[in-house]
Amino acid sequence: MSSNIKSTPGQRFRDAVASEQPLQVVGTINANHALLAKRAGFKAIYLSGGGVAAGSLGVPDLGITGLDDVLTDVRRITDVCDLPLLVDVDTGFGSSAFNVARTVKSMIKFGAAAIHIEDQVGAKRCGHRPNKEIVSQQEMVDRIKAAVDARTDDSFVIMARTDALAVEGLESALERAAACIEAGADMVFPEAITELDMYKLFAARVKAPILANITEFGATPLYTTEQLKSADVSLVLYPLSAFRAMNKAAENVYTAIRRDGTQQNVIDTMQTRMELYDRIDYHTFEQKLDALFAAKK
């Protein structure tokens, strides 16, 4: 079969950005959630670095996770879901251009469609927490150049995230975004934006797709897709919405079972066995197993 660039994850991500304005990108903490997101009609999905830290490892989003931790979750998602996956690679998982290059090559190999890489220092923090520190603009540009140079697939998307707004102000963030696009980045992710009109300024300055991170309980108001479209936003990210709901639901179930000595009082909050089987296409697998057993008899 001849290779077709249209079939690459990166090209599917670019096509999704072009076809839906703005493109809703929803966080999927694991492979099961990726299937649920596809069923709900989303055209692209996301793996959060903070989600890998908290969900897979049970640690804070403070630069503790490594490349292999994220790759494990990437592979599990891309193995079962063909939606293009945007992956948070923090600062690139290492201090040198070689680390950034290894990260990019690995992400492509494991089936990711896009990454975003940020300008925080190695000991990074959640983008909506105080006391963030950022590297120089030149160091961030070098990260982008290293990422772009390492691409083994030209359609793979390199997105530049800047945390400069909270640290150095709007003009610095705009300058950094423009410098990253000049260095070869495809899209821009200005983090922790506090006013809707700021997105329009980024779009005008860089003339490239802008991502709005609409995470709950953070610095950015929960703008609607209509509001964001009016501000020239191309992608809207909901990084941990389902994860937060999942955690709250699990906590409520654990509390109820421990308190009541039974799960009867929370059974109506649960996905049923048949719903689960339907979502993971269980019966198709079982039918193949039945056919195999029948053929052996």
**What number is the average pLDDT over the span 277-286?**
93
The percentage of the chain sitting over the pLDDT mark of 90, rounded to a whole number, equals: 87
Write the DSSP assignment of 191-259 as a string of letters: -S--SHHHHHHHHHHH-S-BEEE--TTSSS----HHHHHHTT--EEEE-SHHHHHHHHHHHHHHHHHHH
Q: Is 20 a catalytic residue?
A: no
Q: Is 142 labeled as ligand-binding?
A: no
Residue 5 — very low, low, confident or very high, per pLDDT cuts 50/70/90?
Answer: very low
Please, which residues bridge with residue 238 across strands? 26
Q: 128 an active-site residue?
A: no
- Annotated active-site residue 116? The verdict is yes
Question: Do the annotations mark residue 131 as ligand-binding?
Answer: no
Distance CA(236)–CA(212), nearest Å, equals 5
Q: Is 164's pLDDT higher than 70? A: yes
pLDDT of 191: 95
* Residue whose structure tokens are 């990437």: 74
48 assigned binding-site residue:
yes
Note if 161 is an active site residue: yes
Q: What is the DSSP letter of 271?
A: P
For the segment 189-241, what is each residue's pLDDT rounded down to a tens digit?
999 999 999 999 999 999 999 999 999 999 999 999 999 999 999 999 999 99
Given the residues 12, 30, 90, 176, the one annotated as active site? 90
**The pLDDT value given to residue 3:** 45
Q: What is the pLDDT of residue 4?
A: 46
The predicted-structure confidence for 36-51, as pLDDT tens digits, reads as follows 999 999 999 999 999 9
Residue 61 annotated as catalytic: yes
Q: Give me the chain's average pLDDT, please.
A: 94
Does residue 88 carry a catalytic annotation? yes
Query: Of 73, 118, 119, 163, which is the active-site residue?
Result: 118
Q: The tokens 């929803």 sit on which residue?
A: 26
What are the domain boundaries of the chain?
Answer: 9-244
Clarify whether 277 is annotated catalytic.
no
pLDDT for 27 equals 98
Stretch 129-135: mean pLDDT: 85
pLDDT at res. 2:
40
Q: Is the pLDDT at 1 greater than 80, yes or no?
A: no
180 is in an annotated binding site: no
169 marked among binding-site residues: no
pLDDT per position as a tens digit, 20-78: 999 999 999 999 999 999 999 999 999 999 999 999 999 999 989 999 999 999 999 99
Is 46 among the residues known to form the active site?
yes
Q: Give pLDDT, residue 6.
A: 55
- Omega prior to 60 cis, within 30 of 0: no
Q: Which CATH architecture has domain 9-244?
A: Alpha-Beta Barrel (3.20)
**Catalytic-labelled residue, pool 125, 128, 151, 161:** 161
